[in-house]
């Protein structure tokens, strides 16, 4: 009888503890994903979202969250939770309860493989309309911006600069670090005709017709036919960092501030790289939970 009671304690109590553990883990996962969605806004906003979402799925637990930096500051959040789990048969052997624990880590990433080193001045754009997104020799600033890239030696995001990085960020062989709202970056002055042509060519080869990638309806609807197309790119909307102006600085390299994101389809490289034309698709929401027909600027994923 004593042996049978021991087996009951093992089977029934362990099963109950397992269910408690799964419940705890699900709540922690949900909290981490909700929090990560707001990391580009601020870490405080991410913590609030994480705790609020956890409370929707469980109550009475001990919950903490902390920042977990990987590639850029504030890009990951860790939610740790614990709760006492009562025992049934095991209580007869002096084990009234145990503490079950769960940990979840979620990371926010830039959609579309990351933003390209071109900035779009804030303004009004019409879906389905073609605009020049890069124009060389139009002045000291031509639409190019300097995007920091991950440096494995220093373990941080670094502005390497140079035409090689610019071209590699276009073709995708070196991903830029994630851009956040209100982040300030420098404009990239100078002539980049060759690197622009080479970067787009290495990225896509021969460009397809825009109509094979995305379609537009008369009512303003948008349908993306090829979500993984190399021509579908995420570009930051920017303004003058000091003035808030919607015009490119007239002097040398200046600061611009990221105020949003939008989706475009590269349609043509003009004059060997002196100009790049793209068709405007629409805005990219900075809230991954907002829904809509277009992908958000940020996506979240469980990483631990």
Per residue in 216-274, pLDDT (tens digit) is 987 778 999 999 999 999 999 999 998 898 988 877 788 999 999 999 999 999 989 99
Look at 91-105, 166-180, 235-249 and tell me which has the smallest mean pLDDT.
91-105
Residue 188 has pLDDT above 60, yes or no: yes
Q: Is the confidence at residue 119, as pLDDT, over 90?
A: yes
Q: What is the mean pLDDT of residues 158-167?
A: 81
How are the residues of the chain apportioned to helix, strand and coil, as percentages rounded to the nearest 5? 30, 35, 40
CB 213 within 8 A of CB 233: no
CA distances, 255 to each of 14, 26, 80, 149, 249 (Å)? 59, 43, 39, 17, 9
Please work out, in degrees rounded to the nearest 5, the angle formed at the alpha carbon of residue 238 by the alpha carbons of 159 and 155. Answer: 25
Residue that wins the pLDDT comparison between 70 and 242: 242
Residue 3 has pLDDT above 70, yes or no: no
Q: What is the DSSP letter of 294?
A: S
- pLDDT on residue 90: 54
Are 256 and 120 in contact, with CB atoms under 8 Å apart?
A: no
* Average pLDDT over the chain, rounded to an integer: 84
pLDDT reported for residue 263? 96
Neighbouring C-beta atoms of residue 72, cutoff 10 Å = 21
Burial class (CB in 10 A: 0-12, 13-18, 19+), 50: buried
Look-up of token digits 């809509």: 292
Backbone angles phi, psi at 229, to 5 degrees: -60, 140
Cα–Cα distances (Å) from 148 to 131, 158, 203, in that order, read: 26, 5, 19
Contact indicator for 262, 248 with CB cutoff of 8 Å: no
């Amino acid at each position: 009888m004593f042996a049978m009671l021991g087996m009951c304690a093992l089977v029934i109590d362990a099963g109950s503890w397992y269910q408690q553990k799964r419940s705890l883990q699900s709540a922690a996962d949900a909290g981490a994903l909700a929090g990560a969605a707001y990391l580009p806004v601020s870490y405080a906003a991410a913590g609030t979202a994480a705790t609020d979402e956890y409370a929707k799925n469980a109550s009475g637990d001990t919950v903490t969250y902390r920042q977990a930096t990987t590639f850029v500051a504030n890009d990951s959040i860790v939610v740790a939770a614990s709760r006492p789990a009562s025992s049934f048969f095991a209580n007869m052997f002096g084990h009234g309860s145990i503490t079950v624990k769960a940990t979840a880590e979620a990371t926010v990433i830039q959609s579309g493989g990351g933003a390209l080193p071109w900035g779009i001045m804030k303004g009004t754009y019409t879906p389905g309309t073609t605009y020049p997104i890069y124009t060389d020799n139009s002045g000291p600033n031509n639409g190019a911006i300097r995007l920091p890239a991950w440096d494995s030696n220093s373990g941080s995001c670094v502005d390497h600069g140079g035409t090689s990085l610019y071209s590699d960020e276009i073709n995708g062989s070196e991903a830029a670090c994630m851009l956040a709202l209100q982040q300030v970056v420098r404009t990239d002055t100078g002539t980049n005709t060759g690197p622009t042509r080479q970067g787009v060519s290495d990225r896509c080869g021969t460009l397809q017709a825009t109509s094979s990638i995305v379609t537009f309806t008369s009512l303003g609807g948008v349908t993306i036919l090829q979500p993984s197309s190399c021509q579908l790119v995420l570009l930051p909307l920017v303004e003058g960092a000091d003035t808030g102006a919607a015009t490119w600085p007239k002097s040398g390299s200046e600061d611009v501030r990221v105020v949003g994101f939008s989706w475009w389809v590269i349609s043509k490289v003009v004059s060997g790289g002196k100009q790049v034309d793209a068709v405007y698709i629409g805005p990219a929401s900075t809230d991954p939970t907002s829904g809509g027909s277009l992908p958000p600027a940020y996506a979240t994923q469980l990483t631990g």
